[in-house]
Amino acid sequence: MDIGGFYQGQEFEAYRYLGGQITEFGAVFRTYAPAADHVSVIGEFTGWQEYGMNRICDGKFWECYVDGAMAGQMYKYRIYHRNGSFTDHADPYAFYSQLRPDTASILYDMQGYAFDDEEWMRTRTDCRNRPLNIYELHLGSWRRRDEDLTTEPTDDFELPEDASGGWYRYDEIADMLIPYLAENGYNYVEFMPLNEYPADESWGYQATGFFSATARYGEPDQLKYLVDRLHQSWIGVILDVVTVHFATNDYGLLTYDGTPLFEYPHPSVGRSEWGSSNFIHARGEVRSFLQSACDFWLSVYHFDGLRFDAVGNLIYWMGNERRGVNLDAVRFLRNMNSGLKGRHGGIMLIAEDSTAYPGVTSPAWDNGLAFDYKWDMGWMNDTLDYFEEWPVRRSEKYHKLTFSMQYFYNEKYLLPLSHDEVVHGKATILQKMYGFYEGKFPQARALYLYMFLHPGKKLNFMGNEIGQIREWDERRQQDWFLSKYPLHDSFHHFMIRLNHLYLEHSALWERDYERDGFEWIQANGERDCVYVFRRRSSKESLLCLFNLCGEARTYDFHPGWKGRWTLLLDTDEDTWSGNRHYDTREELRIDADESHPIALAPFSGRCYLETGC
């Protein structure tokens, strides 16, 4: 490791030097604890007795070699403070850890698994001009072994006191997840954080092991197997990571060497809104730690992309624009993203950011943050607000659905309907739709068609595709029993068709970020709540029409150009529990000099493919 680069925040592979490194006859342990009085390693290989470590390099690093230490053995660092007290810490660079509530690090041989995904790794891209349809997933609650997959829970259903017995392993979930993603038309899966973390309720966003794949679902090699299998099925894999804050458990990073080493020393900026500790990005060794963790998941596990949580809390002090830009954190993002992109071909770096900070997806040389995509939180909030509204008042919010295209080309946006929108009393996506149970489905179909025809890459959280009506709970699997109910079953089939339609038609992704890929035809239909636009690629053109009020409308179409258009999808088709039946695909013929009335059902959308002049 380049010690100078480590201090300057330029190191990307600190994990190859620090931590517990297995050798032929034992293991070398190294840790960075500059303010420690002295440090020992304790573990199974010493009967949990102290084994002294020596100062090395500039005296701020500690090292020892333990003969006979082997993979699978537990250990910690006992770090003595200047006042004579000590704390037993887990290894910040450990590759594997005990499952909560136990806290020891575990030696693991990271060279033991051989990937078989060379073709995927060689040909993967950032999908800028390709389809990107992401299925966001919490691995512990997609499916669980302790819940009957076909039986609806009864009113007296109780969660097990210790939910850990219900998790599938990484390798076990592969046989269920891969065919499901392929059948449903998702070409990428995004896992919520898989680093080690102490509290299930944090979903992994408050970590203690930034290099340690959580033991909830098995061992590191089993996670590698899952990623490898996904790649062999031509499905990309994205991982949620957190570079903003960390859990405050005493065995973790908090006051690691007896002083605020990873965190800010002052509580006004040291403690986050979630009660965790904020990383101090002004320190080069902290920047090297974080970007090495990101490189680790990309290099060692072959992840294809990283989604960065709470980027706004990096850009602005405490996430508050009024407190100003955190220049050290901004420089960290710019340097890290540029470095990762230079080191790994075809990866994508995605920012979850709700701020208006400019240049999030611009290159570093243009003072940008060098992300590939930014979540369009404005689109998400405006769209859901519109569909929650009483239909007779939607004319007042008509431009909630047109506003996104006024700023869309400022960044490379991704449209998310994520886990954050289906928890904590917010209701699920289906439940957000105005009205009672049956009336929610046609609106949800129209919402999703609008989402997939709108420019921008796509992300949907698990359960959205089956019309989940219970808010997400990390302790329970998805309500797969809903397939027994016709409205949910037909909605799921609608989503499958929509996902595949998106993958199949280049007009929906080839020119997402080019102005000639989208054209408004009707963006002033406030009275009728009718929207019409066109999507184009180098190969095809799609015509998209929506009536989002509660009554049937006839749209007088007079575009000034002629063409022949074949219907691809209608949300009101009886196949999806709508009201229209089609014996053959409807064809629309347009003459440049004539008006063409088009009847649109309430809460409906249609998509046509141009098939001739």
**In 3-state terms, what secondary structure has residue 206?**
coil
| Confidence at residue 558, expressed as pLDDT on a 0 to 100 scale | 75
Section 50-67 average pLDDT: 96
116-125, 372-381, 549-558: which has the minimum mean pLDDT? 549-558
pLDDT of 613 higher than 70: no
Section 383-400 average pLDDT: 95
Rounded distance, CA 55 to CA 49, Å?
19
Strands (E), 121-241: 133-137, 188-191, 195-196, 209-213, 236-241
Rounded distance, CA 433 to CA 428, Å?
9
Rounded distance, CA 100 to CA 120, Å?
35
Concatenating the DSSP letter of every residue in 370-416 gives --SEEE-HHHHHHHHHHHHS-GGGGGGGGGGTTTHHHHGGGS-EEEE
CA 263, 266, 270, 275: dihedral to nearest 10 degrees? 120
Cis-peptide, bond into residue 442, ω within 30° of zero = no
Helix axes 437-453, 486-504, angle to 10 degrees: 10
pLDDT of 486 higher than 60: yes
**In 3-state terms, what secondary structure has residue 334?**
helix
**In 3-state terms, what secondary structure has residue 188?**
strand
Dump pLDDT digits (tens) for 168-219: 999 999 999 999 999 999 999 999 999 999 999 999 999 999 999 999 999 9
- Nearest residue to 292 via CA among 241, 250, 331, 255: 241
Question: β-strand 305-308 against 348-351: which pairing, if any?
Answer: parallel
Give Cα separations from 139 to 134, 200, 243, 461 (angstroms): 15, 12, 21, 12
Rounded distance, CA 376 to CA 513, Å?
13
| Confidence at residue 156, expressed as pLDDT on a 0 to 100 scale | 52
pLDDT of 282 higher than 90: yes
Rounded distance, CA 341 to CA 116, Å?
23
Partners of 460 in the β-ladder? 135, 417
Give Cα separations from 474 to 428, 540, 560 (angstroms): 14, 42, 53
Average pLDDT along the chain? 94
- Nearest residue to 27 via CA among 106, 114, 86, 92: 106
Question: β-strand 188-191 against 133-137: which pairing, if any?
Answer: parallel
Check for a shared fold between 3-106 and 132-147+162-466: no
Rounded distance, CA 458 to CA 452, Å?
7
Sign of the dihedral defined by the CA atoms of residues 124, 130, 131, 133, in that order:
positive
Q: Is CATH 2.60.40.10 what the domain over 3-106 is classified as, yes or no?
A: yes
Which phi and psi angles does 100 have, rounded to 5°?
-55, 145
| Confidence at residue 585, expressed as pLDDT on a 0 to 100 scale | 62
pLDDT tier, 584 (very low <50, low <70, confident <90, very high otherwise): low
Question: β-strand 209-213 against 305-308: which pairing, if any?
Answer: unpaired
C-alpha of 309 from chain center = 8
Q: Where are the domains of the chain?
A: 3-106, 132-147+162-466
| Confidence at residue 234, expressed as pLDDT on a 0 to 100 scale | 98
For 458, residues 6+ apart whose C-beta sits below 8 A from its C-beta are 132, 133, 134, 414, 415, 451, 452, 502
User: Given the structure tokens 């002033």, which residue do they identify?
Assistant: 524
Rounded distance, CA 446 to CA 450, Å?
6
pLDDT of 237 higher than 90: yes
Dump pLDDT digits (tens) for 112-167: 999 999 999 999 999 999 999 999 999 999 999 987 544 565 555 455 544 456 89
Q: How many CA atoms lie within 13 A of 291 on its CB side?
A: 29
- Burial of residue 150, with CB atoms counted within 10 A of its CB: 0-12 exposed, 13-18 middle, 19 or more buried: exposed
Rounded distance, CA 384 to CA 49, Å?
58
| Confidence at residue 589, expressed as pLDDT on a 0 to 100 scale | 75
Question: β-strand 563-570 against 245-246: which pairing, if any?
Answer: unpaired
How many other C-beta atoms lie within 10 A of the C-beta of residue 268? 9
Dump pLDDT digits (tens) for 316-356: 999 999 999 999 999 999 999 999 999 999 999 999 999 99
pLDDT tier, 570 (very low <50, low <70, confident <90, very high otherwise): very high
- In this predicted model, which residue has the larger pLDDT, 146 or 57? 57
Backbone φ/ψ region at 266: left (φ over 0), alpha (ψ -120 to 50), beta: beta
Q: Could you give the residue numbers annotated as active site?
A: 309, 352
| Confidence at residue 361, expressed as pLDDT on a 0 to 100 scale | 98
Rounded distance, CA 385 to CA 464, Å?
17
CA 414, 416, 418, 420: dihedral to nearest 10 degrees? 100
Question: β-strand 209-213 against 236-241: which pairing, if any?
Answer: unpaired
The distance in angstroms from the start CA to the end CA of the chain is 64
Element (H, E) at 498: helix 486-504
Rounded distance, CA 242 to CA 262, Å?
14
Sign of the dihedral defined by the CA atoms of residues 77, 81, 87, 90, in that order:
negative
pTM score of the predicted model: 0.95
Rounded distance, CA 502 to CA 133, Å?
8
- Would you say how long the chain is, in residues? 613
CATH topology of domain 132-147+162-466: TIM Barrel (3.20.20)
Element (H, E) at 232: helix 220-232
| Confidence at residue 597, expressed as pLDDT on a 0 to 100 scale | 83
| Confidence at residue 150, expressed as pLDDT on a 0 to 100 scale | 47
| Confidence at residue 164, expressed as pLDDT on a 0 to 100 scale | 56
Section 224-247 average pLDDT: 98
